[in-house]
Structure 1
Amino acid sequence: MNDSKKLFHELNVHVLTLAPGIDEQKLARRLEDVLANYSIEIKSQIDMETDIEEKVMMFLSAKELEGASQDTLSSYYYILRQFWNFTKKAATQVTTQDIRAFLASFNQNKRSTISTKLTTLNSFFEWLVREDMLLRSPTLKIKSPKVEKRNPKGLNIAELEKVRESCNTLRQRAMIEVFYSTGCRLSELRSLDRADINHQSMSAKVIGKGNKERVVYLSFKALYHLNKYLNSRTDECDALFVTQRRPFRRIANSSIQDEIDKVEKASGIDKKLTPHVLRHTFANLSMDSGIELADLQHLLGHSNPATTLVYTTVSEERKKQAFKKFHVQ
């Protein structure tokens, strides 16, 4: 089958799929009349592979303009690069079966990992449809795998105190206290500058997901240890947390996690300690203290209230306090 016949066949199939009641003979004659005016040559394999890569880069540029964080963009790029290396097709030729085969190649991974890959592909192909580069997304018929819902694991008060007492440097203690007091994400804390801290109102302005600004608050303990750390510094770097060696500069995400890992090891707690665990600790203990769900949503920077609902599971402490408060003697 030559290239012209291949194109004729593909167009015929697509039109009949979109308009099943159309007169097939009339359609065939019209397609033949139109295609007779063109010299048709199918794309080479290299052109096909380049096509999807180019569209991925356009997609990432669009997401960056929409305010996606660098971490999100890096995740998109990593997954989409995996996909174009796997399929080696032009974006318009990708089928539902191609998507399923790609996801099936990760069967040994957690369902949450596969779900993330599908979400990324869905976002990419839906963007192509909105930009009129594609008629229909090949991900539409694929259901996301069921992911086991787990309550976010935070520290209890005893574990939090162990973590606090295991900090060996002023910077470590300040990080722990600011993470716990504000419920900030790792990228949010890293981006903070000294000027973002309002000492009078004991608050800070952070830039969250979608480039949205919100105000978070520092406890007396957090502000005390943060000031202790800041007063020990001799550099003039604007960043709130900086490297320990010259040239002083804003600390990297990986370095923050390294510091948290050191504290975890020194504390001897059984749970994995990460910035996100400290964020969960802030949310869980806030719920135990009776915070309103809408207030917690704003403090955490959740755009969707449903995201905050995972913290509404009643803890043992809250049940015990409710019993003491309302139990009839």
Structure 2
Amino acid sequence: MHTTVEIANAVLTKMQALVSGEVLSYLESVLMSELRGIELEVNALSNVEDEASKYMERFLAAKTIEGCSPKTIRYYKATLTRALEAIKKPIIRISSDDLRTYLSEYPIGNNAGSITVDNVRRILSSFFSWLEDENHILKSPARRIKKIRSKRTVKSVYSDEDLIALTDACSCKRDLAIINLLSSTGMRIGELVSLNREDVDLNRRECIVLGKGNKERVVYFDATTKLHLNNYLQERSDNDAALFCSLTKPSSRLQVSGVELRLRSLGTKAGVKHVHPHKFRRTLATKAIGKGMPIEQVQKLLGHQKIDTTLMYAMVDQDNVRDSHRRYIC
């Protein structure tokens, strides 16, 4: 990168044959003045970026210690980097209006919906709250920015017929075990592929999963799932510790993408639309609440820290609403 003096000398060398010495001298003073001003602005911006980067890395380190996954840390970093680069102010000078302006303009350049924008707001709020707690700033500018309302869409769940069709479409014992384990436990797809054989207790019909924040919890499965798991494990001849492995040799732990592709393929074969792992989780929550399971127990079963998250997963079955209306009001 050329220095201010080098740039000025290069321009003057090219101009000296075209202008007089007096004009050249004046041109030199103008060039040096303007270039030094630009240099100061660049250095100031660099200092702002260095300061923001320093605080951001400390914040991400704190989140890592709290148990956030590498994927979450990457999302936090990308979101904060984009915001701080757009605002271009020292951390201590960022105001509530700066954040409001950024959030209001975010959908325009990113084609984002209100849910995505609220996720950005939530990350910014977490970052500035941490800065306040650590005494790096006096007060978080995100305090005054309220949750962004979004339209709640009714997400579908699997019907009993869908689940039967999916199991009928299975051509191997492994896929049967996967579908039944997902539907009877409601575990996350990441938890499923991380399971080892030793994590499963067939006699007690339960297994230990490692959830978000590296927190262990016990989930339970039904007798049908026990049968399919046992059949699958008995036919395995490998020594891999993973509960679910690839069908090709040499066998290896099944990955999230592998499960997603397999389920989509089974959905196409069974004629079931929108088949994906998370839908099993939402289906379990909806059925559990519909049958009267206390919401606190559903929360523990799914491994949610906040009960509001559980309520977002659980759709209220319209048939239950109709039956309750007839029971309590009619």
TM-score, structure 1 normalization:
0.77
Whether 1:162 and 2:165 are equivalent positions in the alignment is: yes
* Corresponding residue for residue 57 of structure 1: 57
CA distance in 2, matches of 1:139, 1:300: 30
Is it true that 1:231 corresponds to 2:252 in the alignment? Answer: no
1:138 equivalent in alignment to 2:161:
no
State the match for 1:287 in structure 2: 289
Q: How does 1:1-329 map to 2 (within 5 A)?
A: 44-103=44-103, 104-107=105-108, 108-246=111-249, 248-270=251-273, 272-310=274-312, 314-318=316-320
Q: 1:138 to 1:202 in 2, by over 3 A?
A: same
Partner Cα distance (1:97, 1:327) in 2? 49
> Which residue identity lines up with residue 70 of structure 2 in the other structure?
Q
Q: Structure 1 residues 189 and 117 mapped into 2: Cα distance closer, same or farther (>3 Å)?
A: same
Distance 1:281 1:312 in 2: 8
SS in 1 for 2:207: strand
Matched to 2:140, the amino acid is: S
Q: Deviations over 1:33-87 (max 9, x none)?
A: xxxxxxxx99632232232223222211111111122332232123223223433
| Paired AA for residue 133 in structure 1 | H
Instruction: Measure how far apart 1:313 and its partner are.
Output: 5.8
Specify the code of the residue in structure 1 equivalent to 2:107: F
Q: Does the residue aligned with 2:107 lie in a helix, a strand or coil?
A: coil
**Using the alignment, how far apart are the partners of 1:153 and 1:50 within structure 2?**
46
Q: Distance in 2 between matches of 1:326 and 1:144?
A: 35
**What SS does structure 1 have at the residue aligned with 2:219?**
strand
What one-letter code is carried by the residue in structure 2 that aligns with 1:226? L
Determine the C-alpha separation between the residues in 2 that align with 1:247 and 1:318. Answer: 49
Which deviations, in whole Å up to 9, do the C-alpha atoms of 1:19-39 show, x marking residues without a partner? xxxxxxxxxxxxxxxxxxxxx
Cα distance between partner residues in 2 of 1:74 and 1:122: 17
**Aligned residues with identical type, % of pairs:** 30
Q: Which range moves more in the overlay, 201-210 or 289-298?
A: 289-298
Paired residues of 1:151 and 1:310 also in contact (CA < 8 A): no
Alignment gaps of 5+ in structure 1:
1-40
Q: 1:179 to 1:74 in 2, by over 3 A?
A: farther
Distance across 2 between alignment mates of 1:259 and 1:283: 23
8 A Cα contact 2:165 2:272, kept in partner: yes
Query: 1:162: Cα distance to partner?
Result: 1.8
- Superposed CA RMSD in Å reads 2.8
Amino acid at match of 2:293: I
**Secondary structure, in 3 states, of the residue corresponding to 2:209?**
strand
Which whole-Å CA distance do the structure 1 matches of 2:137 and 2:74 have between them? 24
Distance in 1, Cα, partners of 2:329 & 2:130: 55
Aligned position for 1:31: none
Label 1:74 to 1:168 Cα distance change in 2 as closer, same or farther (>3 A). farther
| Secondary structure at 1:205 match in 2 | strand
SS in 1 for 2:218: strand
Q: Is the 8 A contact 2:68 2:212 kept in 1?
A: yes
Contact 1:152 1:310 in 2 (8 A): no
Check the 8 A contact 1:185/1:279 in 2, yes or no.
yes
Aligned length: 287
Letter in 1 for 2:91: A
1:325: Cα distance to partner? 8.5
Which of 226-235 and 214-223 deviates more?
Answer: 226-235
SS in 2 for 1:123: helix
Structure 1: how far apart are the matches of 2:300 and 2:90?
42
Q: CA deviation at 1:125?
A: 1.2
Counterpart CA distance in 2 for 1:86 and 1:130 is 24
Which structure: greater helix fraction?
2
C-alpha displacement at 1:150, in angstroms?
3.8
Q: In 2, are the aligned partners of 1:188 and 1:208 still within 8 Å (CA)? A: yes
CA distance in 1, matches of 2:313, 2:52: 40
AA aligned opposite 1:100 = R
User: In structure 2, what is the equivalent of residue 35 of structure 1?
Assistant: none
Q: Highest relative contact order (Cα 8 Å, sep 6+), 1 or 2?
A: 1
Q: CA deviation at 1:94?
A: 2.7
Residues 106 and 112 in structure 2, CA contact (< 8 A), matched pair in contact too? no
Task: Name the stretch that deviates more: 85-94 or 139-148.
Answer: 85-94
In 2, the alpha carbon distance for the partners of 1:153 and 1:101 equals 35
- Which residue matches 1:28? none
Letter in 2 for 1:87: I
